[in-house]
Structure 1
Amino acid sequence: MTYRIFVLRKERGTASLWFSKPKNLAISCVLGFGAAFAQADTLTLHQAIDIAIQQDPWLQSSVDQEQSMRARSQSAQALPDPKLSIGMANLPVDSFDINQEAMTQVVVGLSQQFPAGSTLSLSGSQFNVKADQSAFARLNRKAQIRQMISDVWADMYRYDATLKVLKINEGLLLNLNESIAGNYSSAYNKVGQQALVNSELEIAKIGERSFQVQQALNQTKARLTQYLPQMASIKHYEFVELDQSGGAFDDSDYDLNLLTNHPMVRILDLQHQVSDFDRKIAQQQYKPQWGVNVSYSYRAEDANGRERADLASVGVSVSLPIFSSQRLDANVKAASSNSSAILYDRELKLNELKSQVLSVQADLALLGQRIALYTNTLIPGFQKSTDVALNAYRSNESGYRDVIMAQIAQMNAQIELIQLQSEQAKRRAEFEYLTTQSAEGARQ
C-alpha cells in the first residue's frame, strides 16, 4: 500500500501523470508513526506504564494500609494489660488508727483477664488476611493502570495517525487544486470552475476534520495527565510498541479456569476468609472468659507492738454465658450469612470475568478479520480505484470529481483501518487485564 503523489497537467490537449512513490510512506503513516519520534523527550507505552505505576499514590496508600494491618495483627494477639489495685480495708472510722483493729489491712492486688477461647489468635490471623487483601489489591491496581494507559495510548495513536493521514491527503488535494488552477482559466468552461470549487471545498472539509481530530487528541493527552502529571514536558510519543503487537497475539486457547487466580477473585477469596474469621470469633464467645487475681494484704502491729501476719489471696473468675445465648446465636448467624454472601459475590465476579473474556475473544477474532480485509483487499482496492480514476481523467474519459472521490474513499479506508487497529489494541489490553494472574508476585 503506497501513496502516489501526483501532479496533473494539461499539455497539448492531453493529461499526463507525474508521480513518485515514497518508500514505505503509507506504512510509516498508518503503521509506524512512532519511529520518527525516537529522540529526546519521547515517551513510549512501556515507559508511561512504568512511570504511572511508580508515581501512583493509591499504591503507596495501599502499602501503608497493609503495614497498618500487620501492626494491628500483632496488637490483636496481645493479652489485655493486667490491672493493679491498691486499697485499705477495714479501717476504723472512729480513730482511723491502722493498729487498732486486727482486720485493718493495706491491700495490693493484681488481676489478669484472658479472652474467651482462641479469640486473640483468630483476631491476629484475621488482620493478616486483611493485609493480604491489600497486596492483591495492588496487583489488581497495577493491571488496571496498564489497561487504562494502554487505552489512552491507543486513542492517542488513533488520533495522531489520523491527523497524519489527513495532512498527507490535504497535500495531495492541494497538488490537484494547483494543477486545476494552472490548467483551467475561469473562462475555459464551467466544468473547470466547478472542479476548482469542489477541490477547494474538499480541502476545507479535510481541514475542519483535522481540527476535530486535533481537539480529540488534546483531550486524550489531558486524560493521560491523571496518571502522568509531568505530561506537559513530553513532546513526542512512541507508538511502535502498539503497531508491532499485531499478529503475535493468540487468545484462542486460554483456559477460563485460570480466572480463579485473577486478583479480584483472590480478593473475594480473602474477604470470605475474613468473614469466616468473624464467624469463628463469634463462636468463641460461647466459651467462658477466665480471669485471675492475686492480692497481698499488709497488717500493722497491734497495740502491744506485736506483729500481725500479713495475708495473701488468690482468686479465679469465669464468665457464664447463660443469659447472652440469644445475642451470641444472632452474632454467629450474621457472620455465617455474610460469609455465604461473599461466596455468591465471588461466583458472580467469576461469571462476569468469564463473560468478558469470551466477549473480548470474539471481538479480537472479528477485528483481526476486518483488519486483514482492509489491509489485503479494501485499501489495495481503493488504491487501484484511485489509479483507474487518474488514468481515466488523464484520457479525458472522466471528470475531476471521480478522481477526488476515489482519493477521499482511499483516505477514509486508511482512517478506518487506524480505528480498527486502535480498537484491537484496546481489546488486547482488556484481555491482558482480565487474564491477570496473581499466583506469583501478589506481595509486590
Structure 2
Amino acid sequence: MTFVHKLIVVSLATGLFCSSVPVSASSADQSSERIEGTELQTVPLSLSTAVEVALADNPSLATMRSRAEAMSAIPSQVGTLPDPKLSFNALNLPVDTFNVGQEGMTQMQVGFSQAFPFPGKLGLRENAADYEAQAAGSEVDETRLWLMRSTRSAWWQLLYLDKALDIVVKNQVLLREFVKIAQTKYTVGKGLQQDVLLAQLELSRLLDQQVRLTGVRRNEEARLNALLNWPTTKSLTLKYKLDAKLPLLQKEADLHRQAETTRPLLMAQRNYISAARSRVDLAKKDYYPDFNVGAVYGFRSGFNNGIERPDFASLLFSMSLPVYTGSKQDRAMDQRNSELLQQNYKLQDTRQQVREEISRAMADYNRASEQAALYKDGIIPQARQTVDSMLAGYQVNKVDFLNLVRSQITLYNYETQYWLSFSLAQQALAAIEAVVGTENIYTEDSL
C-alpha cells in the first residue's frame, strides 16, 4: 500500500470516528402572537385588556424572556466534553531533498486527541449554569409581576383622573347655576354683586383645576401607552364596571410566609445561591488534574533491505499539574466562598425588602380603603345634605352665598378624595399581589 493510499484510508477512518458537527439547525420563526393593537386602540380599554396587551407586547418583558431562553442554552454547552482534536504532522523531513522515503525516521502522522476534565467538573459546571438559567426564568416571572402591577396602577390612576374631571365638569355646571341665581337675586335687589363675583371666581378656579387634571391625565395616558407598547400620543378611553366593595386581605404575617414560596425574586436568589455553591464545589475539583488522551498513526515510505518500512502507532496521555495552588486554586476557593457568602447575604436583604414591601402596601391599602369607606358612607352623604340645605336656605335669604359656595366646593373636594382613595386602594391591591407573587391574597369571605 502506497503512502497516499494509507493516508486516505486513515483520514477517512478518523473522520468517521470523530463526532460530526450538525451543518444545519432548524430556526423556528418565533414571531410573537401580538394582540392586534390597531383594533384595540379604537375601543374603550378595560383593566383586563390592558394587562393582557402589556403581557403580550411589552418589550421589557420580551427582553427578559429572550435572556432566559439564551441562559437555558448554556448548561448543555458547559456540560459537554471539549471538542476532540485532529492533527496532521510531518516529522523528520530531510531538508536536502524533502523526499519522504529517503530516511527511515521520516513520518507523516495523523493524530486524534481528547481532553477529559477531572470527573465531576463537567457536571458541576452544568449544574451552576442550570441554576442560573432557572434564576433567569424566575426573573421573567418577576418582570411579569412588575408589569402587571405598573399597568394596573396606571389604569387605576387614569380612572381616578377621569372621575375627578367628571366631578369638575359637574361642579362647573352647578356653579354656573349659582351664578345665574346670584345674578337674578342681584337684578331684583335681593342679592349682592360680590356674590356674583365670588361665583365667577370659583368657576375660574374649577377651570384651572380642569386644566391641571387634564395635563396630569395626559402624563398618565402616555405612561400606560408605553407599558402597552402603543403610541404614547394615543388618547385612551377607559371601560369599566366598578365594584365599590373593597376586598378583605389575609393577615400580614400570612402574606409574609406565603411570599417565601411564591415571590419569584426570592426563588431567583435561591437559585443564585445554588449556582454559587456549585462553583465552590467546582473550585475544590480544580485541585485535581485534567487529562488528555490521544492516538497517533505515523506513515513511513521507502524500503529497508527490500522490505517496505512498517508504519508507527503511538498512544498519548498527559495531565495537568496543579502545582501553583497557593496563588491560583487557593485564591479561587476564597473567591468562590466569598461569592457564596455574598449571595446568602443578598437573599437575607431581598427577604427583608419583600417583607417591607408587603407591610407598606398593606398599610397603604388599609388607609386608602378605610378612607374610601368613610367618604362613601359618611362624609359625602352628609356633605350633599349640607349643600341641598344651603341652597334651599340661600334661595329664601337665610344663608349667605359664601357659605353656599363653600359647601359645594367642600362636596367637590370630598368626592374627588373618595375616588383618589378608591384608586389608591386598588393600586395597593395590585402592589400586594406583585410583592407577594400571587393573586391568592384575599380571605375566603372576599372570594
CA shift, 1:281, in A, is 2.2
Name the counterpart of 2:260: 260
SS of alignment partner, residue 386 of structure 1:
helix
Do 2:75 and 2:127's aligned partners in 1 also have CA atoms closer than 8 Å? yes
Q: Letter of the aligned partner of 2:277 in structure 1?
A: D
Do 1:139 and 1:438's aligned partners in 2 also have CA atoms closer than 8 Å? no
State the distance in 2 between where 1:438 and 1:426 align: 14
Tell me if 1:199 matches 2:216.
no
Instruction: Compare 84-93 and 263-272 and name the one that shifted more.
Output: 84-93
Q: 1:242-257 alignment to 2 at 5 Å? A: 243-244=242-243, 246-252=245-251, 254-257=254-257
Tell me if 1:161 matches 2:160.
no
Name the counterpart of 1:415: 416
Q: 1:136 to 1:53 in 2, by over 3 A?
A: same
State the distance in 2 between where 1:274 and 1:120 align: 14
Instruction: Compare 45-54 and 393-402 and name the one that shifted more.
Output: 393-402
Q: Letter of the aligned partner of 1:182 in structure 2?
A: T
Q: 1:16-27 alignment to 2 at 5 Å? A: none
Which of these residues, 174, 177, 182, is aligned with residue 176 of structure 2? 174
Name the counterpart of 2:272: 271
Q: Letter of the aligned partner of 1:169 in structure 2?
A: N
Do 2:71 and 2:136's aligned partners in 1 also have CA atoms closer than 8 Å? no
SS of alignment partner, residue 88 of structure 2:
strand
CA shift, 1:294, in A, is 1.3
Tell me if 1:145 matches 2:147.
yes
Name the counterpart of 2:220: 220
State the distance in 2 between where 1:322 and 1:247 align: 69
Q: Letter of the aligned partner of 1:162 in structure 2?
A: A
CA shift, 1:438, in A, is 11
Name the counterpart of 2:38: none
Tell me if 1:335 matches 2:336.
yes
Q: Deviations over 1:7-64 (max 9, x none)?
A: xxxxxxxxxxxxxxxxxxxxxxxxxxxxxxxx96110111011101100122322332
SS of alignment partner, residue 330 of structure 1:
helix
CA shift, 1:258, in A, is 1.7
Name the counterpart of 1:46: 48
Q: Deviations over 1:262-298 (max 9, x none)?
A: 1111111111122222222222211111111211222
CA shift, 1:309, in A, is 2.5
Tell me if 1:357 matches 2:361.
no
SS of alignment partner, residue 398 of structure 2:
coil
SS of alignment partner, residue 246 of structure 2:
coil
Q: 1:95 to 1:172 in 2, by over 3 A?
A: closer
Do 2:81 and 2:122's aligned partners in 1 also have CA atoms closer than 8 Å? yes
Name the counterpart of 2:25: none
State the distance in 2 between where 1:108 and 1:245 align: 82
Q: 1:390 to 1:336 in 2, by over 3 A?
A: same
Q: Deviations over 1:51-97 (max 9, x none)?
A: 01100122322332233223332222222222222333344445544
Which of these residues, 82, 85, 97, is aligned with residue 84 of structure 2? 82
Do 2:255 and 2:436's aligned partners in 1 also have CA atoms closer than 8 Å? no
Q: 1:245 to 1:277 in 2, by over 3 A?
A: farther
State the distance in 1 between where 2:315 and 2:385 align: 104
State the distance in 2 between where 1:61 and 1:359 align: 29
State the distance in 2 between where 1:366 and 1:94 align: 98
Q: 1:74 to 1:409 in 2, by over 3 A?
A: same
State the distance in 1 between where 2:211 and 2:300 align: 99
Tell me if 1:117 matches 2:116.
no
Q: Deviations over 1:130-162 (max 9, x none)?
A: 222222111111111111111111221111101
Q: 1:245 to 1:306 in 2, by over 3 A?
A: farther
Name the counterpart of 1:430: 431
SS of alignment partner, residue 227 of structure 1:
helix
State the distance in 1 between where 2:260 and 2:367 align: 27
Q: Letter of the aligned partner of 1:272 in structure 2?
A: I
CA shift, 1:100, in A, is 4.2
Name the counterpart of 1:10: none
Name the counterpart of 2:380: 379
**More contact order relative to length (CA 8 Å, sep ≥ 6):** 1
Name the counterpart of 1:27: none
Q: 1:376 to 1:64 in 2, by over 3 A?
A: closer
Tell me if 1:56 matches 2:55.
no
Provide the identity percentage: 22
Q: 1:94 to 1:223 in 2, by over 3 A?
A: closer
Name the counterpart of 1:390: 391
Q: 1:88 to 1:394 in 2, by over 3 A?
A: closer
Q: 1:347 to 1:219 in 2, by over 3 A?
A: same
Q: Letter of the aligned partner of 1:286 in structure 2?
A: Y
Q: Letter of the aligned partner of 2:145 in structure 1?
A: A
Do 1:117 and 1:285's aligned partners in 2 also have CA atoms closer than 8 Å? no
Q: Letter of the aligned partner of 2:215 in structure 1?
A: Q
Q: Deviations over 1:348-373 (max 9, x none)?
A: 11111112212222232232222222
Number of aligned positions between the proteins = 398
SS of alignment partner, residue 108 of structure 2:
strand
Q: Letter of the aligned partner of 2:292 in structure 1?
A: G
Do 1:101 and 1:302's aligned partners in 2 also have CA atoms closer than 8 Å? no
Do 1:169 and 1:411's aligned partners in 2 also have CA atoms closer than 8 Å? yes
SS of alignment partner, residue 106 of structure 1:
strand
Q: 1:69-108 alignment to 2 at 5 Å? A: 69-93=71-95, 96-108=98-110
